Structure 1
Amino acid sequence: MADCGSNIQENDKVPGRVDDILYQPCIKEIMCQPCLSKDTKTVAGTFCSTCNEFQCIDCSGVHNVLDIFISHKLLNANVAHAIRCDQHQKVLDYFCEDEKKLCCSTCAIVDHSKCHSVVEVEKVAGKMTSPSSSLKEILQEAKENAEDIERHIITSKDQLAQNVQEIQAKIRETREEFMRIFDKLEASIVERAKSLQKETLCYLEKKQSQNEKHLANVKAYLETIHSIYQNGIPTQTFIAEQKIKNEVHVLCRNFNEECQNLQMVTIFLDLDEQLNLPPQSFTDYIPGQLTLKYNERKNVNAENKVMTLTVDSSIDLKKEWDDFKQPFYSGIDFLPDGRLVAVDYNNKKLIVYNEKFVKLGSCQLSYYPLSVVAVSEDEVAITSGSEYIIDFIRISKANKIRRNRKCIVTTKYDSICLKDNSQFVVGTIDYQIPVEIISSAGEPYVSNINFPIKAYCADTSACTYIKSSDKVVLTDIYKHTTYIYDTKTNTRVVVRDGQINEPCGVAISPSDTILVCSNGTDCIVELSQTGQVLSSYQLDMEYPYRVCVSHDKSFIVVANACRGNMKIQKFKISL
């Protein structure tokens, strides 16, 4: 059983989701200068341009009492700070039109002496017809996004609590079936669910705390902009906008990205179909799996990098003179040079095609082949449904085919894909573990993924591997389900969607999304690594069965499993 709660803090990023570290602007706290001269730190609220000092409320109060100070001009401290040079603490009197930067008299001499157009701010500001409100509108949008994030986090926390209660109710519904062992079993599952909830709440509260800080910064900027528009002269307005414009744009862009990738965290219980309790204490075993799932919120404005497919070529598979039956391609894959290799289960054959589906060569096999994967420039590995072997066959550039070696294995394998140069990820047949990682010599490795105990017959499941994120994908044709296992955190995402019916073959797209053959809907469904359905491609064939992607990421090929109308189609990929 995959207990997904133990590693959330260790790796709490979800692949495919934008990192939760937003841009953090700094609203500087300005100290009262008269108070500093008395070794006291007090936040300044105003700036007297005559005294040339930042002052707190108490120190500036003298301007309202003595007539001698009546002519002094007071500004909001943030406004005054905004129109001064951060480096030299002088008023920003100049604007470099070449570099689009504000500068004080020192900056103009030292940093912009070679620029062609350094003009006084008064001349530039004088050309402004009215203060721009775009920054205020952008900040208002950022404020709304921040508030949206806040509401979403609160909803997610409520949802977590609700999920734990639903899990508890689900267990109680099954109480009679488990009889006397169920009471202790319930306590065990709920304890783990609450542990997941506690760890996930820490993660959400961290995001909530960050969002509150960002929201405070947005409000501070809004107050500054509002004060400038209300009290500032055109030069001050122009200077303030120029100073904070870039920071505001970066802040808003990051808020927008965060909003587009909000996810609802849920916990649910997926019970195993067969409850085979081991001899150890039953409190150490849960007949199911607690799964922590991040459901990406769909946003109509989000730009998902999905594919478009265009038919490149297609052929119908007909029975040839040396065939016993109509061809059925149970496995397909590309060689690195673009040639396509297919294995025909019905006729025990391996066939090689060029890019236009012109047959280049074939050879007879002594067993029923199930799946094929390109291992190198000129070698493929084939699994068998009738023998305990993995067959390695060489295909030369001249399309001469010869057997290289046979690897004897202890389990029959269906689907096969490369994990790295020395390991395969394989789907098992009639074995209690549905997926294994094996060496090129056929030796199984101990995986850190706790797959559920379930045996699949041939043609009822397929698997593949995502190298960039170290994830294993598994389909279940009868449960209409696709599982995405994260080997780093030992968690899984369960994908059930109306667009996926009888999922068969799977492959990884050029953008590392998941392509699933939906046998029951005659389409290819594209999934994100977090389980979101990104798109669906209706095919001009019935019962798509296998899919593969070319090494240059330009094409995919789909083979079907339709009696009487067998075909393979090649599609051009566009992103």
Structure 2
Amino acid sequence: MAEGYQTTVHDQVGGRSVDSDQTCADDNVPGRKGKRCDPCRTNGRWNDAVVLCKTCQQHQCEDCSMNHSLNDIIVGHDLQGLEEDDQRKICIKHKQDLNIYCVDHDEMCCGLCGVMYHKQCTEVTDIKCEYIDKGDEKRIQAYRSQVKVIPEQIDIMKNEIDKLFDDFKCNVVHSTRDAVKTESKKIDEEKIVRTAITKDTDTTLATNIDDFNRIRLFTKKIRQHKNAISKQESDKHVLDFIFEFNKTLLSFIQSGDDIGSLHIEKTFTKATSGSFVRPFMLRLLASRNLKQGEDGDKEPVISGLDFLPDGRIVAVDNWNRRLIVTDQQLNNLATHLLASSPQDIVTTSDQKVAITTSSCTAVVNKREDVEVK
């Protein structure tokens, strides 16, 4: 099983391999175990790489990797040792993880290789083990987070209930104290009145006059204080402090029901096999401005695009009725004039493409098969 997909198909231009300037064949020199530094190789030097920068998607030597600590723009890039790189299995061509397995070719490749070179294969499988493991770890972390939140929610509810009881208790205590205080004040006032009456009558009895006049005077004093004494006697009462809980609360407590419930539900997710959909990073490989041709053509409008198995790109220009063939760097290799305005294009076999076109006079779609040499 190959560790990296490396095409041998030629692009019919001088017999040159489509990626001859990008292959890593020089990294496989007999007796050499290390990888070449990509920035150095671009500048014509051949230094051994010591790290892989996942952000730059480059193998780098020690000197080149030092730029990550000197240049503020690239500080914080994800640098990994080559031992980790070897474990992860990097595609030689595209410097991406080998996460696609082609059963037809019995080899591993990256997602970009799968789209470009294995689209016509009958069975291409997305290797998900690493992502399943990571997904399981994330789920366990999510479970732990949820489990951690539940006791916190119970504590919040408990605190709210405790607050209700504390407030209720505080109100009850204040109310009873106020009632006792009011009663005590009233009793003290009545006692003062009775003390004054007793003192007044005692003074009368102690008057140094004859008994007849003393009794007459004492009787007069009693008549004067009769209303005050009668009012105190008629206002005698006893306070009864009657305490009750809310009947709904009592019914709930007496019912024996749990104060809450916990339900654990399973939601099954459907696994998708053979899919290349996964988190990815977009990187600009090539771009080209489309301009109006000198022979009177309109400004191009590309309405469809696809890849040939050898890596070449085929596109259709709707306004100028043209089929355009380019290499991966968008260099024009060939142009074909079409009979009708093309709508879209798709590769159907090794060198053939199917183009959908529409008539200018009627809304009728038809298919035109073209062989690309």
* TM-score higher than 0.5: no
Q: Indicate the structure with greater strand content.
A: 1
Q: Indicate the structure with greater helix content.
A: 2
TM-score, length basis structure 1: 0.16
